[in-house]
Structure 1
Amino acid sequence: MEKRESPELKDLLALARDEDAIDVFTEKPDHDFHYKTLSWQFVSLLMIAEIVSNGMLSLPSALAVVGIVPALVLIIFLGIFGLFTAKLLIDFKLNHPNVHNMGDAGMIMGGPFLRELLSAGTIIFAICGTGSQLLSGQQALSSLSNNGLCSMYFLLIFAGATLVLSLPRTLDRLGWLGLLSVALISLAGVLAMIAAGANPIPNRNLSAAVSTNFYQAFLAITNPVFAYAGHFMFFILISEMRKPQDAMKAAWCLQGFATVFYTLFAVVIYVYIGDTVASPALFSLPPKWAKAAWGIALPNFLIAGGLYSHTAAKLVFVRFFRHSRHIYTHTFLGWTVWVVLCLVAVGLAFILAIAVPIFSYLIGISAALFASWYTYGLAGFFWLYDTVHFEGKKGLYKRPVMLILSILTVISGAFICIAGTYVSIKLIIVAYATHIVGRPFSC
């Protein structure tokens, strides 16, 4: 006798066959780990903690190179552009709940090759981001101690603390730290602005616009371009939200806060310091003020580094154990793999920062190669793919404005990638030619 399936069972089987409809995380009462716990408010705090970190410290120098007007136009435009691309990323995530990271999105759009490419890029960029935060932490500790210890030891100390913060398996454990991070980086920025206003540089030069060559101009432009480069983490953050539909609220908070704060910080520091402003900008402040700002900002670098290394580890961990008991329960294998992945992520960042003299330039190359696509270019591809996938090619022509904007988004990502890589490579060549490259494992 033929066995008949109930309508409910047919629906479940159809859902199981539709991989896009399966959420990356499921919630059951007996799970030890509950991932979908974040509110949009805490997601916005984690986004701000990750993005508005040491990126803002290089923005005043951009005003010194191209002038206050072009730089401000660029900072504000990129804030709006980042909000637009965030909307496209969030829509793609909502259309494909199984997407946990850029690699999953690549699998949907281009198969295994694109999945591996985007996954590898995410891991590389996250490790470089961790290394960048380690270097910022080392600079802060060196400033606070008057270089009282070899920089290698400061890096090691900061790497150990970063590892500890990366170890929680779920992001809700980092939510309150995100609030602390945002409060401290905001306070550090305000303190730096007060310090600059209280100690202006006499006879400083200010320029509304500066005529310069392409290399110098784009070198300055990379600072605001990559100051918004945090979209690569959005899929992972949204995957742990209670209501992913609220993700756009978090994006509004992030881009609104970042754009306003970046603009105020860059203008105030530049107006009072002038075109001699250093990068990071805190080095242009009097020593006591600089130490106070570094000390307040220090936990932000630590939390951001923990988020970056957590992201690299989480991508691989979910790839290994997706929908298995090791994701949701305390197992020896699960914890062993998780700790090893976090240790490898932080360890690689530490080794690169201490053993590769040009690591700070490699951070720029990784941002040019990957952040240009994750934050900007790929968003255009997401809209194009989903429109064709759900509506067919005719859907593209029903929305000519979005079609044009998506194509321009892809082109902008390609331009930033190519030009940014060119500038970063030329920086390395200049650094070696002028003998400013240090030695590995040196203080």
Structure 2
Amino acid sequence: MSDENDKKQPDYGLVSELDGTDSTLDTIKALVVADHQHDIKLRTMSWQKTACLLAGEQVCLAIMAQSWSLSVLGWVPGIITMVLSGSLFWITSITMHKYIMKHPYIMDICDFGYYVFGQSKAAYVFSSFMMLANNILLVGFHVLTGAKVLNTLSDHSLCTAIFSVIATIMGIAMSAPRTLQHISLMSMFSSACMGIAIILFLVFAGIEDAPFYGSHGNYPTAGPVRTYAFPLPGTTWVACMNAVLNITFLWVPQILFPTFISEMEKPQDFPKALAVLTGISTILFIVPSAIGFHLLGQYSTAPAFGSLGVVAYKKASFGFVIVPTLIIGVIYANVTGKFIYTRILGKSRHAHSHTITGWGVWGLIMIGVWVIGFVFAEIIPSMGDFLSLLGAGFDSFFGFIYFAVAYWQLYRGSLFSDLGRTVMTLIHVFVMVVGLFILGPGLYAAVEAIIADYSGSVTPAFTCANMAI
């Protein structure tokens, strides 16, 4: 690749396509060697550290909303949605990895979109906007969650807006590391804390005589706790669609994967880390959710901690969530910050050296990302509805549509060459259909839920109201 090409297209990733495995591995080795000559080395993660990072991003509070999804959908549609989402997650993630191995210069989902759609600058700009909007909204979600945790633990001892400020400041401070390898160490602690929170919740829900409240009212207004195979009579299509989006949102983290892969020393080992994540996710996403639904039934709420009747139980279990809340916010902030950072400093020495300018720009970007996230956390009425909006508006592309197109790009001309290829082609056609369905009817359902929230009692912006669970 010439210096002239570097100057003309610094923002769009790979300029030449590499088809052979040997040439791809040689290119990866060259990229690692070049990276290790810098003061700040990015391509340093092993697959084990990548697995920790993946687990830290996936083992999150959204797990505790899945019992509510089951309470809306019932056992049969709920479990089918979970298993199907997990299967498509594995298949689409492998497709992504194969595509990135063919294009090893890809650094983020924006580069991925640029090449998948025929080296389209419009696709790059669209992907960039979508990534920034998705990630900053998720930073805001974690600011709001942090405020909820602090409200719950302190019995609302301060104004909620103040708690949001505290969570924002903590997030900015934790976002100082510029490499994902450092954040992967935090992720191990994050996963452990979320695991403890889940175990404590299940223990407390099991020893309680009855839950406190849920989507069907305070206990026992909806009768004894019970579970059911299909949605209860009167359940709306919008509620069912939002429950499905809640599940798919949990299984669609691929927007971050290209960045993770780009910081691996051996990106060809990514499937090993992915296998670890898939095993962990399958257990944590389904088993606690099923047990929670069994114990709470129609009184399940999101997050499930809110259904606990004893305040001490809520505090003891929900308190551990503050760690994964902040660290996952840091992961999204880091990926967002790297994208903006590269756009500002390009390939100058400040981008990869310990300079005042480099660290100053990084600090300002992190402050900006978290402050904007804080504003979103304060002005939106229901983060639950916004998670559905994120799932419909963003994950439809970054979890399904992009990878169906990537598969076509990888295998066009041989889509039906044999039985195995034909089966995989049909699966990716289904992936595209799912993505379009989530984007269309799913987005409609998410917007309808937000409209319903605004038509009711809306929490004012920058409120001091108690937001404890």
CA contact (8 A) 2:113 2:402 kept: no
Q: Are 1:141 and 2:160 matched, yes or no?
A: no
Q: Are 1:208 and 2:229 matched, yes or no?
A: yes
Secondary structure of the residue that 1:396 maps to in structure 2? coil
Secondary structure of the residue that 1:395 maps to in structure 2? coil
Q: Are 1:38 and 2:62 matched, yes or no?
A: no
**1:257-293 CA-partner distances (Å, limit 9, x unpaired):** 1121111111111111121111111011121111011
CA contact (8 A) 2:100 2:106 kept: yes
Partner of 1:260: 283
Q: Are 1:91 and 2:113 matched, yes or no?
A: no
**In the alignment, residue 274 of structure 2 is paired with which amino acid?**
A
Secondary structure of the residue that 1:267 maps to in structure 2? helix
> Relative to 1, partners in 2 of residues 1:105 and 1:17: Cα closer, same or farther, differing over 3 Å?
closer
> Relative to 1, partners in 2 of residues 1:29 and 1:38: Cα closer, same or farther, differing over 3 Å?
closer
Measure, in 2, the Cα distance between the counterparts of 1:204 and 1:17.
59
Partner of 2:108: 101
Instruction: Give the 5 Å matches for 1:115-194.
Output: 115-194=124-203
Measure, in 2, the Cα distance between the counterparts of 1:17 and 1:131.
35
Q: How far does residue 245 in structure 1 lie from its aligned partner after superposition?
A: 0.8
**1:378-401 CA-partner distances (Å, limit 9, x unpaired):** 11111111223xxxxx22232322
Partner of 1:395: 414
Measure, in 1, the Cα distance between the counterparts of 2:368 and 2:33.
27
**In the alignment, residue 347 of structure 1 is paired with which amino acid?**
V
Measure, in 1, the Cα distance between the counterparts of 2:45 and 2:434.
32
Instruction: Give the 5 Å matches for 1:296-335.
Output: 296-335=320-359
Q: Are 1:340 and 2:350 matched, yes or no?
A: no
Measure, in 1, the Cα distance between the counterparts of 2:32 and 2:438.
34
**1:282-334 CA-partner distances (Å, limit 9, x unpaired):** 01112111101111121111100111111111122233444432222122332
Partner of 1:418: 440
User: TM-score when scaled to structure 1?
Assistant: 0.90
**1:73-120 CA-partner distances (Å, limit 9, x unpaired):** 211221121111110111111111111111101221331000010111
Secondary structure of the residue that 1:27 maps to in structure 2? helix
Measure, in 2, the Cα distance between the counterparts of 1:187 and 1:419.
37
Q: Which runs of 5+ in 1 are unaligned?
A: 1-15, 389-393
Tell me how large the CA RMSD over aligned residues is. Answer: 1.9
Partner of 2:78: 71
> Relative to 1, partners in 2 of residues 1:295 and 1:17: Cα closer, same or farther, differing over 3 Å?
closer
Partner of 1:361: 385
Partner of 2:217: none
Pick aligned residue for 2:16 from 18, 22, 26: 18
Partner of 2:462: 441
CA contact (8 A) 1:107 1:115 kept: yes
Q: How far does residue 26 in structure 1 lie from its aligned partner after superposition?
A: 5.3
CA contact (8 A) 1:79 1:256 kept: no
CA contact (8 A) 1:80 1:255 kept: no
Pick aligned residue for 1:81 from 88, 106, 109: 88
Measure, in 2, the Cα distance between the counterparts of 1:56 and 1:363.
13
CA contact (8 A) 1:25 1:239 kept: no
Q: Are 1:272 and 2:291 matched, yes or no?
A: no
> Relative to 1, partners in 2 of residues 1:148 and 1:35: Cα closer, same or farther, differing over 3 Å?
same
Pick aligned residue for 2:374 from 350, 370, 384: 350
**1:175-232 CA-partner distances (Å, limit 9, x unpaired):** 2111101111111101111111111428212212225442222121111111112110
Residue-pair matches, total:
422
User: TM-score when scaled to structure 2?
Assistant: 0.86
Secondary structure of the residue that 1:179 maps to in structure 2? helix
Measure, in 2, the Cα distance between the counterparts of 1:263 and 1:354.
32
Q: How far does residue 43 in structure 1 lie from its aligned partner after superposition?
A: 1.2
- Which is further off, 175-184 or 329-338? 329-338
Measure, in 1, the Cα distance between the counterparts of 2:36 and 2:305.
49
Comparing both structures, which one devotes a greater share of its residues to helix? 1
Partner of 1:432: 454
Q: Are 1:380 and 2:404 matched, yes or no?
A: yes
Q: Which runs of 5+ in 2 are unaligned?
A: 1-13, 19-23, 212-223, 465-469
Q: How far does residue 358 in structure 1 lie from its aligned partner after superposition?
A: 5.1
Measure, in 2, the Cα distance between the counterparts of 1:190 and 1:319.
43
- Which is further off, 327-336 or 21-30? 21-30
Measure, in 2, the Cα distance between the counterparts of 1:273 and 1:69.
17
> Relative to 1, partners in 2 of residues 1:426 and 1:228: Cα closer, same or farther, differing over 3 Å?
same
**In the alignment, residue 40 of structure 2 is paired with which amino acid?**
F
Q: Are 1:291 and 2:289 matched, yes or no?
A: no
